[in-house]
Chains A and B, each alone.
Chain A
Amino acid sequence: MGVRQWIEGWPVLRQWSDGDPSGRGAAAKSRVSDELAPRTREADKVVKSICPYCAVGCGQNVYVKQDKVTQIEGDPDSPVSRGRLCPKGSASLQLTTGSARQHQVLYRRPHGTDWETLDLDTAMDMIADRVIASRERGWQWEADGQRARRTMGFASLGGATLDNEENYLIKKLFTALGAIQIENQARV
């Protein structure tokens, strides 16, 4: 910025030239204020979503810039919520992008005193082996003298916060494995 430009931009002078003699309005406006824009305008895309907290099912608009979520707010199109959100829904941005989220697989070995890190692929393989082994150990062809074709070796809890598609695959896979102890928050 040249000296002349600087001087011309000096609000003391603009007070007289811009019709704001008291210096409390237009003349005092800074360059940053002049160029201010909501971050939603910069979004590459707006993705339609649904609030993950309670079962009201409020519509959400998710603003994304350079593969990062920059803002989440109510979707005015939703006839259920009409663009409104409660404090939890309003905190969705912090929920999804906040520092409280873990991004690393952690492992605690039997009798271990602390976490260790583990890569996802190894963890998945270990879990698959555990499932197979526990399923076998807990296998019951019969129960109370009747054909049961099931395993009592492992159980699962959760689902009310999950998608229908996820619940469907959980129920499908675990039932096919013979597991029956499959439960969720509907009872908790």
Chain B
Amino acid sequence: MGTSFGRGGATTFQQDLANSDCIVIQGSNMAECHPVGFQWVMEAKARGAKLIHVDPRFTRTSALADVHVPLRAGTDIAFLGGIVHYVLQQEQFFRDYLLAYTNAPMIVSEKFADTEDLDGVFSGLDPESRSYDVETWQYEGAEVQAASGKRDQHWQRRTHAGRGEAHGSGGAEIGTEPKRDETLQHPRCVFQILKRHYARYTPEAVEQICGVPQEKFLQVCELLSENSGRERTSAFAYAVGWTQHTVGVQYIRTAAILQTLLGNIGRPGGGILALRGHASIQGSTDIPTLYNLLPGYIPMRHAHSWEDLATFVQGEAAEKGYWGNMESYVVSLLKAWWGPHATPENEFCFDYLPRLTGSHSTYETVMEQLKGTCEGYFLLGENPAVGSANAKMQRLGMANLDWLVVRDFSLIESATWWKDGPEIETGELSTDDIKTEVFFLPAAAHTEKDGSFTNTQRLLQWHHQAVEPEGDARSDLWFIYHLGRRIREKLTAAAADGTQKDADRERDRPVRELTWDYPVKGELAEPDAEAVLAEINGWNADAEPLSSYEQLKADGSTACGCWIYCGVYADGINQAARRKPGTEQNWVAPEWAWAWPLNRRILYNRASADPDGKPWSERKAYIWWDAEQEKWTGHDIPDFKATKPPDFQPEEGAKGPDALRGTDAFVMQADGKAWLYVPAGLTDGPLPTHYEPQESPFPNLLYRQQRNPVRQMMKHENNRFQPSDGQTGSEVFPFVVTTYRLTEHHTAGGMSRWQPYLSELQPEMFCEVSPELATERGLEHLEWATIVTARTAIEARVLVTDRMPSLRVQGRTVHQVGLPYHWGPNGLSTGDAANELASLSLDPNTHIQEVKALTCDIRPGRRPRGPQRIELVREYQQRAGITDETGTEV
């Protein structure tokens, strides 16, 4: 969404779903995974809204829906592209909205060639390096970006791919003012390109690819169209059902295009709600524990000989919009980290930032561990031994470490694999031989520490400490603070004893000079979380808390740990801890906690009014221009400069926010518009295109190009890929697997499989199959089945159910196997981990693994024990003729 609208966060908030006239839940099983948020969907239904659930399975969400559309896992782009086609062809789009707030009229470079022209790939593909040269995708007359001449293409792609698309903030720079055609007739305008691009996504194609009957598909199209426009709005909700694919980002992009065409962004009851799975997953990308980002979606540095702070900013910042002020954000961050040591003379310690060389995602890290380069590993509330794709690779990586620190509540699989992991049983590893030193440190619970979570709607909510943690349990704040304190003491001592080499002293300087003097409290010397929040919020030269990122300066007079969170500690008050009851304020509830940016609850809400600043309709009024008071007003805080009139035209040469017109509702975008077509910022194409998953039993019906040509793959003997349709051996893995969550458990189970009350509700790993598949493979209800991929074999109890439909696709029946992924061998409720089956094939933008659509075989009975388990997999590999090249073709 970052690339489409400017910020990757949910455009709306859960309560606003109640205002929708139609809600499409796709790639999410909201009733099961977000039951309490689902109450707002039910409210909408109570007001007459229609609920559509698009999902391979019939879930608890489907049970409450007006329409359930079962589709083949991994074909969402074809389905949504079909709706885009319908909306364009039937002229159901919201024309006034389109002209005012989107890049539909922009004219694209004549060098651009679409998948229509190149049979499934875009112009600029370099098959050697599996990457696109994105220059041809630009608007006419625009350059890729200001610094492009100086930057080497490879790193340029990396940096830009890194920004925004994951969950964050910020569209890419597009250069000069693009040409427009207000009639939308120019053959190279975005609108026409879009029309051509989706021309072949017809209802017939959708039926063939997704297995959705045309009648049902058209029903969805009609419902969505009927419920969008001036008077009505529709909302989309998605979750990891979309992101966990080799084309995950493009799934979301398709929904963004659709919602933009229908005029549903920035308006009440509209928008796209990303449903995150962890308490603070939004927060952990905003303040990223991610390799490629710095706080506030500032990209990490890449290794370039020439780069200094100025060129970095020049390369990354935009001319127009709020990314135009990026230098202030970077400098303020550096000031927050290195305080007085960060000076204009030393570029505010810009050199202290480590540099990237390519991707360093968790899956590359595993490769580094196997190589031996990465010898130490912290696991902070995460369980990759069952929770990550191809869990075996994760364990093998850990078995090659020198040391491992696991911080969790209980002895999760990632802490005990060295004595009871699957490889011990198969004989691939032996406990005696494993050199890894393992530290298990008990973690404090949320009731035992202060701090803030950022929820799925960008809302920072503070939780207060209720009691002290028991025994050795400590918060991660305590752990990281005291670890840092000890390391700093040791390095300071080393520097002081006079024997240290200069280079080493220089190496340690960023650590020694780091601002790390947080106040501690209580017997346990717990750092004061509010003091950390105050640093995140930032302060000015007089140490006064800032209230808005507009106050940030590039001269070093302000410090701010995360610019998008600036304002959370305005007036020295913890705004995230505000708890004015919802019943005592309006339905937007602006005085409950604090949302980034600047407490705005619906993003781009300028678009809820027409270009003149009047609500599109009374029914859907949200923010409007009050001519008397000369400011924007309404139910929410305007996501726009409050005093900028609708007819504002920037002066020639204006930069940053000042360059935004009064109608540029998408204030983070370099042109102020929602992007139907993404000229820059994505690695795998400016428009979403249907590709088959890495492993698919079907050919790509639309193009000769079978799979995303730039998907990312990890080659390893334990990460073999399977042949897809048309290749010999594909019949060995004839079924589609999809993985998912259940209400009763949480992610990899670390917080649920140990709880008796939750475990008894879903006591054991199971797989779900249709009665047809059960008959075909002789599977018995409640008996065991073994599921095999080229990676491994797992076992599960069988549930035979109509909830897992077999679909008719391309004239044949495709059976699907459903696997919840919560289990592992430890805890009360146990079973094999579904993630063992997945391969490491990743979305090229986000590096998220594809676990929502794989192929497999399923057979009755338990899996073999010991070395025979490996034998079985090897036998399958041989039968399918799998080599290290299989499935890796472009």
Contact = CB atoms under 8 A, between A and B. Distances in A.
A159 B381 contact: yes
B615 interface: no
Contact of B758 (A85, A88, A159, A176): A88
Nearest to A115: B440
B288 interface: yes
A164 B374 contact: no
Given A138-B374, A182-B290, A56 B482 contact: no
A31 interface: no
Question: Which of A85, A148, A161 counts the most chain B CB atoms within 10 A?
Answer: A161
A52 B460 contact: no
A160 B847 contact: no
B388 A103 contact: no
Interface stretch (A4-12, A21-29, A33-41, A118-126): A118-126
A38 B455 CA distance: 31
A3 interface: no
B373 A152 contact: yes
Contacts of A170: 289, 380, 476, 480
B529 A86 contact: no
Interface in B268-317: 275-291, 294-295, 300, 303-305
A42 to B, nearest CB: 15
B164 to A, nearest CB: 13
Contacts of B473: 101-103
B167 interface: yes
Contact of B487 (A50, A132, A153): A132
Interface stretch (B132-140, B253-261, B403-411, B654-662): B403-411
Question: Which of A92, A178, A188 counts the most chain B CB atoms within 10 A?
Answer: A188
Contacts of A76: 581
B35 interface: yes
Contact of A54 (B276, B483, B507): B276
Given A139-B507, A187-B848, A157 B379 contact: yes
A95 B759 CA distance: 12
Interface residues of B, number: 172
Interface string A84-99: 1111111110111010
A137 B368 CA distance: 14
A162 B592 CA distance: 21
Nearest to B286: A164
A98 B754 contact: yes
Contacts of A152: 368, 373-374
B223 to A, nearest CB: 26
Nearest to A143: B357
Given A57-B456, A102-B442, A173-B483, A110 B285 contact: no
B287 A53 contact: no
Contacts of B288: 167, 171, 182, 184, 186
Contacts of B379: 156-158
Interface string B92-120: 00000000000000000000000000000
B148 interface: no
A60 B450 CA distance: 14
A125 B486 contact: yes
A155 B827 CA distance: 26
B861 interface: no
Interface stretch (B184-192, B428-436, B695-703, B782-790): B428-436
Question: Which of B405, B472, B592, B745 counts the most chain A CB atoms within 10 A?
Answer: B472
Contacts, number: 507
A127 interface: yes
Contact of A80 (B14, B466, B484, B535): B14
A80 B374 contact: no
A17 to B, nearest CB: 44
Given A100-B409, A101-B442, A176-B337, A120 B434 contact: no
A56 B507 contact: no
B648 interface: no
A179 B565 CA distance: 24
Contact of A49 (B290, B364, B466, B533): B466
A70 to B, nearest CB: 10
B465 interface: yes
Interface in B350-407: 351-357, 360-362, 364-365, 368-369, 373-382, 384, 387-389, 402-403, 405, 407
Contact of A57 (B376, B441, B459, B745): B459
B438 interface: yes
Nearest to B276: A55
B454 interface: yes
Contact of B756 (A94, A129, A136): A94
B376 A103 contact: no
A85 to B, nearest CB: 6
B482 A168 contact: no
A103 B288 CA distance: 29
Nearest to A110: B435
A16 B729 CA distance: 86
Nearest to A66: B467
B472 to A, nearest CB: 5
Nearest to A163: B451
A13 interface: no
Contacts of A166: 380, 451, 475-477, 480
B14 A56 contact: yes
B486 A156 contact: no
Contacts of B353: 149, 175
B551 interface: no
B459 A153 contact: no
A128 interface: yes
B491 interface: yes
Nearest to B846: A187
27 contacts: A50-B461, A79-B581, A80-B455, A81-B36, A88-B746, A90-B757, A94-B756, A102-B442, A105-B440, A113-B432, A127-B403, A136-B504, A138-B373, A149-B352, A155-B374, A160-B277, A160-B280, A160-B281, A163-B280, A163-B451, A163-B476, A164-B536, A165-B529, A173-B484, A177-B510, A181-B291, A184-B284
Given A56-B34, A103-B472, A145-B305, 11 more contacts: A54-B34, A88-B743, A88-B745, A94-B758, A148-B303, A157-B377, A164-B451, A165-B536, A167-B289, A168-B561, A171-B288
Interface of A: 45, 47-60, 62, 64, 67-69, 72, 75-82, 84-92, 94-96, 98, 100-111, 113-115, 118-120, 123-132, 134, 136-139, 141-173, 175-188
Closest 8 CB pairs of A and B: A79-B582, A57-B455, A163-B451, A103-B471, A158-B380, A159-B289, A154-B376, A150-B354
